[in-house]
Structure 1
Amino acid sequence: MKDLKVLVTGGASGIGAATARRFLEEGAQVAILDRDVTNAPENVRAFVADLSDDTTVQKAVSDAAQALGGLDVLVNNAGIGAQGTIETNDDAEWHRVLDINVLGIVRASRAALPHLRDSDQASIVNTCSIAAWTGLVNRAVYSASKGAVQALTLAMAADHLPEGIRVNCVNPGTADTPWVQRLLDSADDPADERARLTARQPTGRLVSADEVAHAIVHLADPRSGSTTGTVLAVDGGMHTLRRPPA
């Protein structure tokens, strides 16, 4: 993977930052896109972009590809969380979440495609979620957005296979990231909420950002050349295993 040219959206923190660092360890050249790049990992090229704004996305992706000298891999990791049922989330919240989590992938991928077509080892990896598979309480709009991401991944894989562009996604379980910590901080009892989230993981612990990053890098690796249209669970068995509660 030496000198593979990689762009990671949402790469300044959490899973995105872990992914950027992992690619760097493998010898890749890495750029990130984020709304705030203050805490971007060392040795990456950082560009500011808001995935809800197609103009800024187009410019940032173009600038990143120019800085890297091309583009081999796009990791669509940026996204936002949301809580609530179909009743408690109004139309504005539905539009906000779908605009970032689904159309954000569309905008970044659309901007990256001209550059990826010039690569002989092109790959797109989308960060999806266990919520695409498993009904979670109080996560209606978030789950709907991630279900769309999973379906979009498969459609993109079919569309761009003839161009030599592989498209896959990872479905993390509840990951120990700043985003999840913000959800915990908003709970009435953060310690109790963390215990509840941990208990629903068959492994008895939250997924680490590094574990998700490992899966993303594996899917993007040119040695995974026959892997496309794949949904890879990194969820501690949450989707497939049923164990008695501790």
Structure 2
Amino acid sequence: MSHLKHKLGTATVLGGTALVAMLMSSAAWAHEDAERNPGGGPSCPVSHGQLKAAVTQAAAADSTGLNNDFWAVAVTRSGQVCAVAYSGGNIYAQWLLSRQIAAAKAYTANGLSLDAPKGPLSTAQLYGFVQPSPSGGNPLFGLEGGNVLDARAAYDGNVAEFGTPRDPMIGRRVGGTITFGGGLALYDGKRAIGGVGVSGDTACADHSVAWRIRSILKLVPPSPTDTITLTAGATPATGGHPRCPNDTGTQGQTATN
């Protein structure tokens, strides 16, 4: 009998140890979830299905650039990645490098845009203001160094889940600052609600497809002044963006020269 009691006591201790281990594991998972979704945050301006349909439709309609496929990433107003999709037939149908570039474009455009009437700022509009200048006159030179991409958040996880509703970037602030075309803010009326970034082709084609996506989603600002101005030489004086191969049909552009 005493032997049985000893075994039962041991089992109780072991059971308690297992319970503690399980609780500690649950706490660790809860902590990780909190890191991935700090404070819950604002809701995503677009579902995965909506973004997937929009980037697929926009890529098919756009014939600028190299006629590549694209990655599209949406972020919430707080900058968390909340939807990732691609237009091609599989993960490798578009440049894999472009997935995290698209995320950084979305983060940049969202982070530098305000509610109307001050309104949106696109990544394309930053180009001329960040280039090195012999006179040292560019006001935003070095901008990209102040908000670097979180490589761990961008590259972590199972590649098979990239571009799906379970993409490992979901819920994370990947950050990054991109200063060429492809990033636009998203609006619900006058209110900025997030951003979309597109990458996979020339910078002009990325902007063109992002412009189409925003229109398809009906998340356009009241005054869409965040156009790309294609110029032969981009400087702070022009506020322009360099020309790209096959850029004649670029959507969301102002005058070109």
Which bracket does the TM-score occupy, shorter chain normalised?
under 0.3
Q: Which has the higher contact order (CA 8 A, sep 6+)?
A: 2
Rg larger for = 2
What is the TM-score when the length of structure 2 is the normalising length? 0.26
